[in-house]
């Protein structure tokens, strides 16, 4: 226990302290809220937060809908079967580990020279005629969905498995139609889990940077890219402190999301345990 | 790293044994349901499509013809090769450190201080709450403000600069994997027996507990290795040339074909790792410990 505590304090606590300390001080080391004020007043940072939130909201909603759907289809298959193994391993790869490789698969598909882009051009559809590019908010979002759906599958499968067949039989025995079973039993029981998992998806997209970094570098205006720029770019005087303030703001957003998750999770445990 | 490691839970029904399971009545009763077929079709197009496209793309050689030229070039590209070795080195060392650090802690908490379980769960969730880009910013600050001996000790080599922090990133995965493994065995009896026969704590952990939860330990190590091979944000912000960073570099310098070829190989390798894990976890019923769903 002691080695663990010391380790976490040194290698997690210290960087975290540096972020918080730097965000709340001036270069001379005095306490200030000026860094936060500056980030709130900067139009570029405001846009970054807006973009990050938009990106996270739509990719987590799309991820949630298709993730639940896919998970439900997989749960209906035989436990321990091949389909389940493949889907669960593939979900793990795509959700947790595939940021950069996935971005390149995406470039190869929908990039300016991508296979699908070229195919579509051959039949007369020019994807790039409008404002779409792989490095736009929409292009990056499509790549995000690629890991959001598998993450939803991972998060929601245990809850779906906890949906007992007896409840269905009881409902049907009492004369419920399929729709009535869904409306009065399955959806109310599942709702907290689904909401909780969607919140996690939101946080996941909000803090993710690997895919965007590989697709567009730091030019897409989202919060992690702004932090990257502020720390490494040296575009502005005092920029790295602004980057640290942005970091604290990001943590604050995710803490709020996690509290929401914790609240709905308590509710979810009532039925599914 | 992402957020959802919370999703790693105990496998309680990974039975692969011969005894026939009473098959639950399927909703479809043998008839393929439209909603299932529809989502599988959609998923196939959306998930397999880009992979097929990427594979086709990787076969386009620099002179425009099709072939395995890009794959051949990987072996000759010394920057990528050395980056891959660096990353593998980091991955293996991180995986070992994680287990050495976490296994005794998990055992100790289960045995002596179960009340601390909640604290442990909270602490190991912290790396999820802190986005990697923010951790990287903190490290950057540390690099600037730390005394010189710390900088020399830590930040002069990617291994010492990254591995200690990848251990932190791996905590959410590994804590849950090991804790589930330890929960599945009769820890008290094993430890009492071993201790009363005169074994030291170290012997108890390495020779009694470790063999009993080897699937969980392997799982924790596999996940850590996959994490280290994929982590790009911290390495890139601190300007270390690890494998994924080099992947991005290669594509920027106009050899996108190589990057895509490597991406496919990485995806295949990670998938193989996790797929093998799913069999390991199913092989031993009693010690069945983790799965990634």
Contacts of B284 (CB under 8 A, 6+ apart): B215
- Which domains does chain B show, CATH number per domain? 4-29+76-283 (1.10.3720.10)
Minimal-distance CA residue of chain A relative to B34: A73
Residue-number span of the structural domain to which A154 is assigned: 45-268
Say yes or no for a CB contact (<8 Å) between B262 and A93: no
CATH number of the domain enclosing A193: 1.10.3720.10
To test the contact with chain A by mutation, choose from B53, B83, B227, B259 the residue with the greatest count of A C-beta atoms within 10 A, namely B53
Q: Is A231 on the interface with B (CB under 8 A)?
A: yes
Q: Let me know if residue A226 belongs to a domain.
A: yes
Q: Let me know whether A70 and A178 are in one domain.
A: yes
Beta carbons within 8 Å of A195's beta carbon, 6+ residues apart: A264
Q: If you average pLDDT over residues A264-270, what whole number do you get? A: 78
Per-residue pLDDT tens over the stretch A190-205: 888 899 889 989 998 9
Is A37 inside any structural domain?
no
Residue B278 confidence (pLDDT): 77
Domain membership flag for residue A2: yes
Helix, strand, coil % (nearest 5) of chain B? 75, 0, 25
The answer to whether the Cβ–Cβ distance between B244 and A99 falls below 8 Å is yes
Greatest mean pLDDT range, A50-59, A99-108, B16-25:
A50-59
Contacts of B260 in chain A (CB under 8 A): 104-105, 107-108
Q: Which residue has the higher pLDDT, B41 or A80?
A: B41
Query: pLDDT over 70 for what percent of chain A?
Result: 96
What's the pLDDT at A1? Answer: 67
What mean pLDDT comes out for the span A70-94? 83
**Same domain for A207 and A175:** yes
* Contact assignment for B270 to A97 by CB distance below 8 Å: yes
Residue B286 pLDDT exceeds 60: no
SS (H, E, C) chain A: CHHHHHHHHHHHHHHHHHHHHHHCECCCCCECCHHHHHHHHCHHHHHHHHHHHHHHHHHHHHHHHHHHHHHHHHHCCCCCCHHHHHHHHHHHHHHHHCHHHHHHHHHHHHCCCCHHHHHHHHCCCCHHHCCCCCCCHHHHHHHHHHHHHHHHHHHHHHHHHCCCHHHHHHHHHCCCCHHHHHHHHHHHHHHHHHHHHHHHHHHHHHHCCHHHHHHHHHHCCCHHHHHHHHHHCCCCCCHHHHHHHHHHHHHHHHHHHHHHHHHHHHHHCCCCC
Same domain, A113 and A219: yes
A273, part of any domain:
no
Interchain pair A70, B105: CB under 8 A:
no
Query: Mutate which of A3, A10, A12 to test chain B, going by most B C-beta atoms within 10 A?
Result: A12
A57 plus A159 within the same structural domain: yes
Within 10 angstroms of residue B62's Cβ, the number of other Cβ atoms is 12
Whether A95 and A226 share a structural domain: yes
A210 to chain B nearest CA, in Å? 6
Among the partner-chain residues A80, A240, A248, the one whose CB lies closest to the CB of B16 is: A80
Do A66 and A186 belong to one domain?
yes
Nearest chain A CA: its distance from B50 CA (Å): 5
| Residue A47, token pair as written in the block | 């846009």
Other beta carbons within 10 angstroms of residue B119's beta carbon come to 13
Asked if A53 and A174 sit in the same domain, the reply is yes
pLDDT range class, residue A235, cuts 50, 70, 90: low
Q: Work out the average pLDDT over A185-194.
A: 86
For chain A positions 4-63, those within 8 Å of chain B (CB to CB) are: 4, 7-8, 11-12, 14-19, 22
Same domain, A124 and A231: yes
As a whole number, mean pLDDT of residues B247-255 equals: 78
Q: Which residue of B has its CA nearest to A105?
A: B54
Most A-contacting residue of B137, B231, B246 (CB-CB within 10 A), to test interface: B137
Provide the pLDDT for residue B12: 37
Q: Distance between CA B290 and CA B11 in Å, rounded? A: 6
- Do residues A15 and A78 both lie within one domain? no
pLDDT tens digits, one per residue of B52-81: 888 888 887 777 778 777 777 777 778 888
Instruction: Give the C-alpha separation, A186 to A129, whole Å.
Output: 45
Residue A250 belongs to some domain of the structure: yes
pLDDT higher than threshold 80 for residue A238: no
Say whether pLDDT at B133 is over 80. yes
> Which chain A positions have a beta carbon within 8 Å of B105's beta carbon?
1, 3-4
Structural domain includes residue A77: yes
Cβ pair A4:B24 closer than 8 A: no
Query: Do A108 and A14 share a domain, yes or no?
Result: no
The long-range contacts involving A230-235, CB below 8 angstroms and separated by at least 24 positions, are A231/B136, A231/B137, A231/B140, A231/B237, A232/B140, A232/B237, A232/B239
The answer to the question of residue A156 being in a domain is yes
Number of domains into which chain A is organized: 2
Is B248's CB within 8 Å of A100's CB? yes
- Does a structural domain hold residue A247? yes
Contact B138, A18 (CB under 8 A): yes
CA distance, residue A163 to nearest chain B CA (Å): 13
Query: How many CA atoms within 13 Å lie on the side-chain side of B215?
Result: 27
Inter-axis angle of helices B78-112 and B243-252, nearest 10: 150
Regarding whether A216 and A91 lie in a shared domain, the answer is yes
pLDDT given at position B283: 56
Q: How far is B203 from chain A (nearest CA, A)?
A: 18
Same structural domain for residues A62 and A163? yes
């Amino acid at each position: 226990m002691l080695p663990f505590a010391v380790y976490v304090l040194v290698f997690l606590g210290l960087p975290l302290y540096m972020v918080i300390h730097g965000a709340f001080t001036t270069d001379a080391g005095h306490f200030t809220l000026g860094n936060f004020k500056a980030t709130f007043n900067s139009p570029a940072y405001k846009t970054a937060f807006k973009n990050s939130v938009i990106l996270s909201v739509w990719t987590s909603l799309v991820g949630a809908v298709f993730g639940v759907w896919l998970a439900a289809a997989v749960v209906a298959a035989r436990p321990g079967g091949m389909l389940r193994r493949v889907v669960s391993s593939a979900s793990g790869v795509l959700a947790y580990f595939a940021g950069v490789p996935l971005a390149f698969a995406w470039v190869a598909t929908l990039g300016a020279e991508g296979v699908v882009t070229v195919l579509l051009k051959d039949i007369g559809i020019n994807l790039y005629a409008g404002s779409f590019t792989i490095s736009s908010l929409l292009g990056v979002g499509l790549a995000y969905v690629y890991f959001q759906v598998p993450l939803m599958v991972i998060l929601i499968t245990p809850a779906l498995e906890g949906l007992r067949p007896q409840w269905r039989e009881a409902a049907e025995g009492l004369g419920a139609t399929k729709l009535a079973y869904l409306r009065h039993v399955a959806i109310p029981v599942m709702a907290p889990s689904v909401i909780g998992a969607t919140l996690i998806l939101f946080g996941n997209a909000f803090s993710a940077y690997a895919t965007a970094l590989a697709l567009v570098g730091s030019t897409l205006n989202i919060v992690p890219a702004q932090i990257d720029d502020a720390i490494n770019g040296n575009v502005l005087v005092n920029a790295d402190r602004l980057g640290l303030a942005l970091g604290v703001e990001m943590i604050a957003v995710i803490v709020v999301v996690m509290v929401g998750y914790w609240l709905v999770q308590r509710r979810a445990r009532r039925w599914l345990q | 790293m992402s957020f959802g490691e919370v999703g790693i839970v105990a496998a309680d029904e990974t039975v692969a044994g011969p005894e026939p399971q009473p098959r639950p009545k399927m909703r479809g009763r043998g008839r393929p349901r439209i909603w299932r077929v529809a989502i599988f079709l959609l998923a196939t197009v959306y998930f397999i499509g880009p992979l097929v496209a990427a594979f086709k793309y990787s076969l386009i050689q620099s002179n425009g013809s099709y072939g395995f030229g890009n794959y051949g070039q990987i072996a000759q590209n010394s920057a990528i090769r050395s980056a891959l070795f660096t990353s593998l080195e980091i991955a293996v060392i991180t995986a070992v450190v994680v287990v050495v650090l976490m296994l005794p802690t998990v055992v100790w908490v289960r045995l002596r201080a179960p009340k601390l379980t909640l604290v442990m769960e909270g602490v190991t969730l912290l790396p999820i709450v802190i986005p990697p880009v923010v951790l990287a910013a903190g490290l950057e600050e540390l690099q600037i403000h730390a005394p010189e001996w710390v900088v020399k000790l830590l930040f002069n080599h990617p291994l010492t600069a990254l591995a200690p922090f990848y251990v932190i990133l791996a905590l959410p995965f590994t804590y849950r994997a090991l804790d589930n493994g330890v929960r599945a065995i009769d820890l008290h009896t094993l430890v009492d027996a071993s201790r009363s026969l005169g074994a030291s704590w170290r012997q108890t952990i390495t020779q009694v507990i470790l063999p009993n939860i080897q699937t969980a330990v392997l799982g924790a190590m596999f996940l850590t290795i996959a994490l280290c091979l994929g982590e790009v944000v911290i390495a890139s912000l601190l300007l270390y040339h690890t494998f994924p960073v080099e992947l991005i570099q290669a594509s920027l310098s106009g050899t996108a074909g190589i990057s895509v070829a490597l991406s496919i190989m990485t995806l295949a390798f990670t998938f193989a790792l996790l797929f093998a894990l799913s069999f390991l976890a199913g092989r031993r019923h009693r010690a069945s410990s983790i799965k990634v769903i």
